[in-house]
A and B are shown apart, each in its own frame.
Chain A
């Protein structure tokens, strides 16, 4: 059962354009992470958000955690070819001692020069 749905699944844009990627769930998460994965490599953490409504900025990337902690968005301003990659959201839950994450379906971004 896939609990985290990402949209869009694929996105091809020109350098300099803005874009937003969405990560939605019907479940509440205690934290939400965004990873970026380049071809032939493992995912690398970009950011973690833990508070409902939280907004974090990482240069041209803005991450927001929904007020109810069920959804998140990633906005990229003035995209560059170096932003190309697979973006994955991942939710963590309260309780237990496993630090397990549930990963989203992924958004493949291609930024054309």
Chain B
């Protein structure tokens, strides 16, 4: 049982390049989330999904796209990277219920030069 995994762990992009971050969970969770973490800002929600085939915008969605083709995977895409997207990205998952507990992956550190 690996929990939530993220690939890659580190990536350096040049402005304008594209990339996809992969999140996978083996806990059969319905809900999945992508966050970015910047110093002094806590975690901010980019996009989220409440089930296979469904996605929705979070607090800071501009410049990102997502897809949830399989229940266990949630992909985050950057079509044209900008320096402002330099951040640490976290994926999380959870099940429907009142506790709202979320399980996080180890993160991807992305630098855009």
Contacts and interface: CB of A to CB of B under 8 A. Distances in A.
Interface string A81-111: 0000000101010000111110111100000
Given A31-B98, A99-B96, A42 B105 contact: yes
A106 B40 contact: yes
Interface residues of A, number: 27
B42 A104 contact: yes
A104 B90 CA distance: 15
A99 B100 contact: yes
B42 A45 contact: no
Interface residues of B, number: 29
Say whether chain A's binding surface is mostly helix, strand, loop, or mixed.
Answer: loop
B2 interface: no
A9 B35 CA distance: 20
A2 interface: yes
Contacts, number: 69
A31 B100 contact: yes
A108 B30 CA distance: 31
Given A41-B107, A101-B45, 10 more contacts: A31-B99, A42-B90, A42-B105, A43-B90, A43-B104, A99-B100, A99-B102, A105-B41, A105-B42, A106-B42
15 contacts: A9-B40, A31-B98, A40-B107, A42-B92, A42-B104, A42-B106, A48-B101, A50-B98, A88-B43, A90-B43, A92-B100, A97-B50, A99-B94, A99-B96, A99-B100
Interface of B: 4, 31, 33, 35, 40-45, 48, 50, 56, 58, 90, 92, 94, 96-107
Interface of A: 2, 4, 6, 9, 30-31, 33, 40-45, 48, 50, 88, 90, 92, 97-101, 103-106
